[in-house]
């Protein structure tokens, strides 16, 4: 249909980006398709809608010069080929009309710059100016242009690089990783919502620890989630050590990811020990303790959710509850108990969060083991 529409209005069109990448990687059913028109993407979208039997509604985003329609259970987005240039304080580029080549130049990674011709004379021809196919084969995340410029222009790309590396189980090439490390502070110009979007995607990957260790390695995690990096390290006093709670947390997150696709349970796993950094103490008789870390951790969850613009609704309370109940439900998953058992445990507690907090605080101060029993069981 797009070929027919392009021929009728006499413009070149290409399918580009994620669709081509995922098609080559055979990554299941596509949810969206990006079409680039050399000319007006909006006109092409209108023509396509006219031809399609179900005559879909075309949503036009005039400010962005893009249009979207739904067909065959997919969102098809149309954009005119463009050239972009950036200013220092914004990730919003200055946009001009351009060629397909200009449009491929503005893409974040070589594997996201692949395009397939949709006109009659070049239908299905692959346009791969940056050897994206080679990088797909060698599982490499690489920028088409100088990585320092790519990441500084739009620092969100640093998180996208780590997210794609995690989702696809790819490696980020060394030059890129070094450039991310150098440009990490630029992440501050990115909105919290965009950051959490990428964190959710990392969290939902098969092995979220890969993403979090890359965030840690580049120093981005210290900026985005300092509560987590504060857990890093092993102290030793009088020959006594405690475990490294940061690396332990990443193991727990991977274990829980094997058991559940529930995003918020995964977040709870990530945050379950955050109270341990501020509560860490060494007692001559007992050794290292983290007394009250559950209570402190639950309070920290609220602040962290607020800062990251995560929803302050029942999802946040759910995460708080899990953190409050310490590592218990999570520890069970640690030992490979199923998701449903975890859920039962959580919901069976059934308490209001405030009550739980009061109770937990009382437990901490009275150290009355009976009052904990409910949650242990
Ligand atoms: P997914 O749908 O899994 O997120 P995707 O590659 O389709 O993967 P989108 O965010 O939908 O990701 O972006 C579509 C395409 O637009 C990308 O493949 C890439 O070519 C380009 N793109 C998106 N965001 C950026 C960016 N920040 N900088 C440069 N190019 C980008």
Q: How far is the CA of 112 from the centre of ligand 1 (A)?
A: 7
Distance 257 CA to ligand 1 centre (A): 25
Task: Kindly state the helix (H) or strand (E) to which residue 197 belongs, with its residue range.
Answer: helix 192-203
Length, in residues, of the chain: 377
> What are 262-276's pLDDT values in tens digits?
898 889 889 989 999
CA atoms of 17 and 205, how far apart (whole Å): 20
At 326, the pLDDT band (50, 70, 90 cuts) reads low
Atom 11 of ligand 1, nearest CA residue: 18
If you take atom 16 of ligand 1, which residue's CA is the nearest one?
17
pLDDT at 106: 92
Ligand 1 mutation target, pool 19, 27, 32, 34, most atoms within 8 A of CB: 34
- How far is ligand 1, taken at its centre, from the CA of residue 327, in Å? 37
CA-CA distances (angstroms) from residue 72 to 15, 29, 92, 177, 242? Answer: 16, 11, 32, 38, 55
Distance 66 CA to ligand 1 centre (A): 14
Q: Pick the residue whose CA is nearest to atom 9 on ligand 1.
A: 18
Residue 345 has a pLDDT of 39
Distance from residue 34's CA to the centre of ligand 1 (Å)? 9
User: What confidence tens digit (pLDDT) does each residue in 243-257 have?
Assistant: 888 998 898 888 888
Task: Name the most confidently modeled range: 88-97, 154-163, 349-358.
Answer: 154-163
For residue range 164-174, list pLDDT tens digits in order: 999 999 999 99
The residue among 203, 194, 117 whose CA lies nearest residue 159 is: 194
Task: Report the DSSP beta bridge partners of residue 33.
Answer: 76
- For residue 19, the CA-to-ligand 1 centroid distance in Å is 10
Q: pLDDT band for position 314 (50/70/90)? A: confident
**Looking up tokens 């829980």, which residue turns up?**
256
In whole numbers, what is the pLDDT of the chain averaged over residues?
Answer: 86
CB–CB of 172/162 below 8 Å? yes
pLDDT at res. 248: 86
pLDDT given at position 230 = 96
The DSSP annotation for 10-39 comes to T-EEEEETHHHHHHHHT-SS-SEEEEEEES
Nearest protein CA to atom 17 of ligand 1, as residue: 17
Of residues 110 and 320, the one with the higher pLDDT is: 110
Tell me if 338 sits within 8 A of 259, measured CB to CB. Answer: yes
210-230 pLDDT, tens digit per residue, is 999 999 999 999 999 999 999
* Neighbour tally for 31: CB within 10 Å: 11
Ligand 1 mean position, distance from CA 227 (Å): 29
Ligand 1: residues with CB < 6 A are 17-18, 34, 107-108, 112, 154, 156-157
Residue from 79, 95, 112, 116 whose mutation best tests the ligand 1 pocket (most atoms within 8 A of CB): 112
Non-local (6+) Cβ contacts of 75 within 8 A are: 31, 32, 33, 68, 69
Residues 6+ apart with CB under 8 A from 196: 308, 309, 310
CA distance linking residue 219 with residue 5, whole number of Å: 48
Mean pLDDT of 181-200: 96
Contact 32, 75 (CB under 8 A): yes
Per-residue pLDDT tens digits for 5-55: 999 999 999 999 999 999 999 988 888 999 999 999 999 999 999 999 999
């Amino acid at each position: 249909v797009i070929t027919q529409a392009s021929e009728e209005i006499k413009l070149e069109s290409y399918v580009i980006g994620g669709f081509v990448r995922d098609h080559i990687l055979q990554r299941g059913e596509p949810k969206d398709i990006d079409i680039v028109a050399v000319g007006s993407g909006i006109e092409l979208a209108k023509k396509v809608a006219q031809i399609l039997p179900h005559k879909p509604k075309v949503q036009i985003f005039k400010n962005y010069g893009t249009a979207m329609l739904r067909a065959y259970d997919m969102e098809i987005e149309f954009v005119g080929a463009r050239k972009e240039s950036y200013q220092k304080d914004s990730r919003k580029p200055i946009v001009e009309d351009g060629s397909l080549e200009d449009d491929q130049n503005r893409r974040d990674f070589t594997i996201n710059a692949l395009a397939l011709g949709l006109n009659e004379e070049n239908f299905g021809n692959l346009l791969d100016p940056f050897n994206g196919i080679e990088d797909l084969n060698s599982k490499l995340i690489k920028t088409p242009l100088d990585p320092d410029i790519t990441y500084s222009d739009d620092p969100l790309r640093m998180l996208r690089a780590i997210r794609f590396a995690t989702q696809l189980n790819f490696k980020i090439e060394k030059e890129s990783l070094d450039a991310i490390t150098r440009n990490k502070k630029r992440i501050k110009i990115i909105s919290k919502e965009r950051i959490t979007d990428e964190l959710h995607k990392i969290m939902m990957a098969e092995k979220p620890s890969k993403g979090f260790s890359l965030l840690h390695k580049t120093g981005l995690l210290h900026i985005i989630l300092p509560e987590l990096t504060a857990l890093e390290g092993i102290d030793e006093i009088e020959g006594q050590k405690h475990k490294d709670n940061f690396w332990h947390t990443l193991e727990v997150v991977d274990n829980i990811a094997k058991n559940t696709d529930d995003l918020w349970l995964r977040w709870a796993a990530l945050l379950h020990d955050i109270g341990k950094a501020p509560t860490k103490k060494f007692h001559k008789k007992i050794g290292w303790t983290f007394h009250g870390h559950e209570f402190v951790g639950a309070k920290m969850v609220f602040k962290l959710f607020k800062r990251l613009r995560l929803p302050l609704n029942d999802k946040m309370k759910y995460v708080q509850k899990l953190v409050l109940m310490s590592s218990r439900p999570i520890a069970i998953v640690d030992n490979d108990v199923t998701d449903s058992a975890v859920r039962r445990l959580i919901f069976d507690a059934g308490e209001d969060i405030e009550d739980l907090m009061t109770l937990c605080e009382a437990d901490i101060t009275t150290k009355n083991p009976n009052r904990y029993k409910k949650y242990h069981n």
